[in-house]
Amino acid sequence: MSDKLDLHAMSSQYVDVLKELGNIGAGNAMTALAQMLQCKVDMRVPLVRLLEFSEIGEVMGGEEQIMAGIYLAVDGDITGSIMFLLEKGSAMHLVEKLMGMPASEDGNFSEMEISALQEIGNIITGSYLNSLSAMTGLKIVPSIPALSIDMAGAILSVPAIEFGLIGDNILMIETQFSDDRDIEGYFILVPDLESYDKILSSLGLR
Amino acid sequence: MSEIIKVGMADLKICKSPDGITTLGLGSCVGIAIRDPITKIGGLAHVMLPDSTVIANNSNKPKFADTGIEMLVDLIVKAGANRTRLVAKIAGGAQMFGFQNKNDLVRVGERNVEASKKKLAELRIPILAEDTGLNYGRTVIFYPETGDYIIRAVGKNEKTI
């Protein structure tokens, strides 16, 4: 059962399922984003990656790359957390789009921009979780999102520590989308062990 | 020429003067720098979790404060340092978000710091300085030559402890 779960020994079928969940979830998230920004958003097929802790910073352009991370706790039939990360420049771009005006010139987010970013994160993670819930039939209740703008390594330490409780890898879904510029976003879903089982059984895979 | 050795997450390495050793973007993890001021041999551990004894899958020693510090000290001593002269500096252990979801993960940064201090006290290694807690990430660079532990954070002045 759950104590036997080893992310590294995961069957390719399971990876495919996660990929598909990630794909549909991210697709819904991007549709919601496009509606909010009232623009067309093109999305590429997401990449699902199982990474060593030492590799996670490199995926995002280095541990010191400044990212905006939105983090929510998840409760209901499954428990855990979800994080959505965007590179700071992309975050700034989305905020400008949403607010319809240029961002603060000093390169830091104003209070208003931070709440806009929080709202973007809320919509993206919310629609992601909604589609996960619709596909699995599981009740998923997200918490209020928390935001951090800091080095990738520091933000990622939070989900990494949660993964660290069960193993030495982190499971990440990388999405790329673009409106008039390319934006890379990363989803990290951290269900606890029992929730992995629940997700799989709800899809008839266990 | 001196080099800067890089330590990843859940990782540890030793370093000899004049080289420096660094770990980038510490969040809730803790960076424990230890050195022998005479032989100028030192090292850095980047630990993620406080206690290996409560985790079933605990073979990755550098991941935990208790086993990581022990392993780092052993390596430093093996490289020629004197155990009784060792001194430490620690940084990190931030709480990156306003909340963290599971009860045992609340304040994991703080608990990492506490566990590191406890282990260092147990090994009788004095802590000369610390820069821990709060809510932001830190990049650290340690020089066993001088014992300088340099801390960088986004939007803040660099400091040396």
Answer whether A56 touches B (CB < 8 Å).
yes
Average pLDDT of the segment spanning B86-113: 81
Residue with tokens 């623009």: A39
In a domain, B138, yes or no: yes
- CA of A109: which chain B residue's CA is closest? B155
In a domain, B157, yes or no: no
Task: Give the model confidence (pLDDT) of B5-43 as tens digits.
Answer: 999 999 999 999 899 999 999 999 999 999 999 999 999
Q: Is the pLDDT of residue A134 over 70?
A: yes
Q: Measure A42 CA to nearest chain B CA, in Å.
A: 31
Q: Is the pLDDT of residue B101 over 60?
A: no
Average pLDDT of the segment spanning A133-138: 86
| Closest residue to A146, CB basis, from B48, B94, B97 | B97
Task: Count the Cβ atoms, other than its own, within 10 Å of residue B66.
Answer: 20
Query: A residues 74-103 near B, CB within 8 Å?
Result: 74-75, 79-81
Q: Which domain holds residue B134?
A: 4-147
Enter the DSSP assignment of A190.
Answer: E
Query: B residues 89-118 near A, CB within 8 Å?
Result: 94, 96-102, 105, 108
**Contact state of A164 with B105 under an 8 Å Cβ cutoff:** no
Task: Give the model confidence (pLDDT) of B127-136 as tens digits.
Answer: 999 999 999 9
Q: What is the pLDDT of residue A25?
A: 81
Return the biggest CA–CA distance within chain A: 53
Query: Pick from B4, B35, B8: which is nearest to B145 by CA?
Result: B35
Residue with tokens 């352009």: A61
- CA of B49: which chain A residue's CA is closest? A161
The count of domains in chain B is 1
Tokens of residue A56, six digits: 């996670």
Residue with tokens 């979801």: B101
In a domain, B49, yes or no: yes
Query: A residues 104-123 near B, CB within 8 Å?
Result: 108
Q: Which residue among the candidates B14, B26, B29, B76 is catalytic per the annotation?
A: B29
Q: Measure A19 CA to nearest chain B CA, in Å.
A: 25
Domains observed in chain A: 2-202 (3.40.1550.10)
Q: Is the pLDDT of residue A166 over 70?
A: yes
- CA of A160: which chain B residue's CA is closest? B48
- What percentage of chain A reaches a pLDDT higher than 90? 6
Confidence class for position A181, pLDDT limits 50, 70, 90: confident
The verdict on whether B29 is a catalytic residue reads yes
Q: What is the pLDDT of residue A4?
A: 43
Q: Is the pLDDT of residue A72 over 70?
A: yes
Average pLDDT of the segment spanning B45-62: 89
The more confident residue out of A177 and B126 is B126
Confidence class for position A8, pLDDT limits 50, 70, 90: low
Q: What is the pLDDT of residue A115?
A: 87
- CA of B107: which chain A residue's CA is closest? A158
- In A, which residues are within 8 Å of B106 by CB distance? none
The neighbouring-strand residues paired with A73 are A81
In a domain, B161, yes or no: no
Confidence class for position A2, pLDDT limits 50, 70, 90: very low
Task: Give the model confidence (pLDDT) of A94-124 as tens digits.
Answer: 888 888 877 777 767 888 888 888 888 888 8
In a domain, B154, yes or no: no
Average pLDDT of the segment spanning A126-131: 85
In a domain, B152, yes or no: no
Q: What is the pLDDT of residue B46?
A: 96
Confidence class for position B1, pLDDT limits 50, 70, 90: low
Answer whether A153 touches B (CB < 8 Å).
yes
**Contact state of A161 with B60 under an 8 Å Cβ cutoff:** no
CATH of the domain at B35: 3.30.1330.200
Residue with tokens 């990156």: B96
**Contact state of A108 with B136 under an 8 Å Cβ cutoff:** no
Q: What is the pLDDT of residue B22?
A: 96
| Closest residue to B25, CB basis, from A79, A81, A154 | A154
Burial class (CB in 10 A: 0-12, 13-18, 19+), B80: exposed
In a domain, B39, yes or no: yes
Return d(Cα B75, Cα B62) in angstroms, integer. Answer: 12
Q: Measure A161 CA to nearest chain B CA, in Å.
A: 6
Angle ∠(A102,A103,A109) on CA atoms, nearest 5: 170
Among the listed ranges A46-55, A71-80, B29-38, which one has the minimum average pLDDT value? A46-55
Q: What is the pLDDT of residue A13?
A: 66
In a domain, B160, yes or no: no
Confidence class for position A3, pLDDT limits 50, 70, 90: very low
